[in-house]
């Protein structure tokens, strides 16, 4: 069974078990774990609106192999804990499990309330994958049990073959459609039937949402089921004047593209239902983001590659359209990325792909639009530097989106001229369409790869020496340099004033790896990737 097959199977089972309970399965998280309070699994109740929930071992990862144990986990054998986590402001709780690594016959049970007599939402075990829960009230209760997962009879049998988990949580306001104005940047927008019932007949209500922090509102639908003749219409601004952005009805095809007000910080929704029949209604997640534009047209870039070592280079203001299908979870050595210790990511990796860019500022901003996700889980993205595609330094927040939505990735503390890598992965292996646009801090295609300076390198890859072929159209100052994956200059090959002509310059790099050769002719320059391998 492949990872994708396992993920789909688990998701179907969870949804079936909870079809009679108030439970939503989706994922939306922007991870910034360092600033949140940490709560470990024990018997101590928690009242909070923000935090990270860990197993009893805390934020430490699995210890790894030892002389006597195949795997040492973060939590211990023979644990039995019950922990209640409640919001401290009367709102619902939104939990996103970023990592689940439960082993053996151990399990974590999740109850929709403040005791273990509340409805059971799910039982997470060794086959579970990252998932998300919203409480129907103000609390969720977790019951954890670990057995004796040691290897009794093998060596000394004193193993703690445990695992670990981490889940971020925050409070989430529920907003039922009524004639009102709501200032918010995080809400669950639902019909008048609430989370678990159908809406009413003969409804005519108008609600306006306005951003509470001046950023752009984005509305993403989790569910939609409208009866014949019933309509939900959206308008930019704080009234129903003007042309609607979109009207949803019985014939609307799901998933629905993110709804964004045009040049406004408010979004108005009007719902009307007749007296003939009703549907199950809707659930939609409202958030504020720094992205106000609709999805741009595709640019001329090639799609991402399956391997870091061959990452596709992208450029400023040139949108790339791609999809998370047809990618694997293995590195260039055939090793599962989840087993590569030098890569830290926001969850497991199932179908990762790679892009690369050269920084022309200390901060780079990357816009991402996600849509048409098969499992409604979204994608995950982070930015790194690396010299060997095995050991990575993270330069951005790790963003994971569970809806066809828009978000901004910001990479900071960059070095001008250095090369950085963008890792894209489907959350829990989801298959999504997405568009990436490098907004700032990234080299421009016209200046970095100027068509006025055509160059060739052959052979490439090469094992001994390569020839750089280029032409000079007028007497010019010529400079040829070699840079590594970090963007550090490692060698100056040639520097002199040259006449008109066609030239071949020998390139000799001593160590295997990926390099960039920069050809500068007066004030214009061009880069070409070189791969040295024996």
Does residue 294 fall inside a structural domain?
no
Residue range of the domain that includes 53: 3-170
Question: 146-178 pLDDT, tens per residue?
Answer: 987 654 433 444 444 567 888 888 888 899 999
Question: 484-514 pLDDT, tens per residue?
Answer: 766 677 888 888 888 988 999 999 887 888 8
Q: Which of 57-71, 294-308, 443-457 has the highest mean pLDDT?
A: 294-308
CATH of the domain at 508: 2.60.40.1930
Query: Which residue among 226, 255, 289 closes a domain?
Result: 289
At residue 65, the pLDDT reads 39
Identify whether residues 149 and 36 lie together within a single domain.
yes
Residue spans of beta strands (DSSP E) within 243-350: 246-248, 266-272, 281-289, 312-313, 320-323
Identify whether residues 14 and 155 lie together within a single domain.
yes
Question: Omega into 459 within 30° of 0, i.e. cis?
Answer: yes
At residue 487, the pLDDT reads 64
In contact, 370 and 434? CB cutoff 8 Å: yes
Identify whether residues 186 and 42 lie together within a single domain.
no
**Confidence class of residue 73 from pLDDT cuts 50, 70 and 90?**
low
- Find the mean pLDDT for residues 367-380: 83
Identify whether residues 378 and 523 lie together within a single domain.
no
At residue 371, the pLDDT reads 80
**Confidence class of residue 444 from pLDDT cuts 50, 70 and 90?**
low
Identify whether residues 164 and 17 lie together within a single domain.
yes
> Has this prediction a pTM greater than 0.85?
no
Which SS3 state, helix, strand or coil, does residue 409 take? strand
Identify whether residues 344 and 411 lie together within a single domain.
yes
CATH of the domain at 139: 2.60.120.290
Which SS3 state, helix, strand or coil, does residue 214 take? coil
- For the chain, the domain total comes to 4
**Confidence class of residue 63 from pLDDT cuts 50, 70 and 90?**
very low
Measured distance CA(312)–CA(281) in Å, rounded? 43
Measured distance CA(489)–CA(481) in Å, rounded? 7
At residue 7, the pLDDT reads 30
Phi, psi angle pair for 249, to nearest 5°: -150, -165
Query: Which residue among 428, 446, 464 closes a domain?
Result: 446
Residue percentage of the chain with pLDDT more than 90 = 35
Specify the length of the chain in residues: 534
pLDDT at 451 over 80: no
Question: 264-285 pLDDT, tens per residue?
Answer: 899 999 999 999 989 999 989 8
Identify whether residues 278 and 329 lie together within a single domain.
no
Query: Which residue among 170, 197, 222 closes a domain?
Result: 170
At residue 17, the pLDDT reads 30
CA distances from 73 to 43, 167, 210, 346, 380 (A): 20, 17, 46, 19, 25
Identify whether residues 188 and 89 lie together within a single domain.
no
């Amino acid at each position: 069974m492949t990872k994708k097959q396992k993920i789909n199977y688990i998701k179907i089972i969870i949804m079936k078990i909870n079809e009679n309970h108030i439970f939503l399965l989706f994922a939306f998280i922007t991870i910034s774990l360092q600033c949140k309070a940490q709560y470990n699994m024990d018997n101590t109740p928690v009242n909070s609106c923000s935090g990270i929930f860990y197993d009893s071992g805390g934020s430490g990862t699995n210890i790894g192999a030892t002389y006597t144990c195949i795997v040492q986990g973060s939590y211990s054998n023979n644990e039995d804990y019950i922990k209640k986590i409640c919001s401290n402001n009367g709102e619902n709780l939104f939990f996103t499990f970023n990592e689940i690594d439960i082993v053996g016959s151990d399990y974590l049970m999740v109850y929709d309330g403040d005791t273990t007599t509340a409805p059971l939402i799910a039982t997470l075990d060794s086959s579970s994958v990252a998932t998300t829960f919203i409480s129907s009230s103000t609390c969720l209760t977790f019951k954890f049990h670990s057995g004796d997962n040691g290897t009794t009879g093998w060596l000394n049998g004193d193993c703690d073959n445990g695992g670990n988990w981490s889940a971020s949580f925050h409070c989430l306001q529920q907003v039922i459609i009524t004639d009102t104005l709501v200032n918010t940047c995080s809400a669950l927008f639902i019909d008048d039937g609430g989370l678990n019932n159908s809406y009413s007949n003969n409804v005519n209500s108008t609600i306006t949402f306005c951003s509470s922090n001046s950023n752009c509102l984005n509305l993403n639908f989790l569910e939609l089921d409208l009866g014949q003749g019933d309509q939900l219409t959206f308008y930019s601004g704080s009234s129903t004047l003007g042309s609607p952005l979109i009207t949803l009805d019985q014939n609307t095809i799901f998933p629905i593209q993110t709804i964004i007000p045009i040049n406004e910080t408010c979004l108005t929704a009007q719902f009307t239902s007749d007296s003939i029949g009703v549907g199950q209604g809707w659930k939609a997640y409202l958030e504020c983001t720094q992205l106000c534009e609709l999805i741009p047209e595709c640019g001329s870039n090639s799609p991402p590659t399956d391997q870091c070592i061959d990452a596709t280079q992208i450029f400023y203001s040139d949108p790339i359209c791609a999809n998370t299908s047809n990618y694997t979870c293995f590195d260039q050595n055939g090793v599962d990325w989840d087993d590569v210790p030098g890569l830290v990511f926001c969850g497991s990796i199932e179908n990762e792909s790679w892009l690369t860019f050269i920084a022309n500022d200390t901060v780079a901003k990357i816009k991402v639009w996600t849509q048409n996700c098969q499992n409604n889980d979204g994608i995950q993205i982070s930015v790194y530097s690396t010299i060997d595609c095995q050991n990575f330094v993270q330069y951005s927040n790790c963003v994971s989106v569970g809806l066809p939505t828009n978000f901004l990735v910001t990479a900071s503390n960059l070095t001008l001229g250095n090369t950085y890598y963008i890792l894209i992965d489907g959350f829990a292996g989801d298959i999504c369409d997405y568009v990436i646009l490098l907004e700032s801090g990234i080299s421009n295609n016209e200046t970095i790869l100027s068509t006025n300076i055509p160059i060739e390198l052959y052979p490439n890859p090469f094992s001994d020496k390569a020839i750089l072929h280029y032409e000079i159209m007028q007497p010019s100052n010529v400079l040829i340099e070699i840079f590594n994956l970090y963007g550090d200059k490692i060698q100056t090959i040639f520097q002199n004033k040259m006449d008109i002509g066609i030239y071949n310059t020998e390139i000799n790099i001593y160590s295997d790896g990926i390099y960039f050769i920069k050809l500068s002719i007066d004030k214009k320059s061009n880069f070409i990737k070189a791969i040295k391998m024996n």
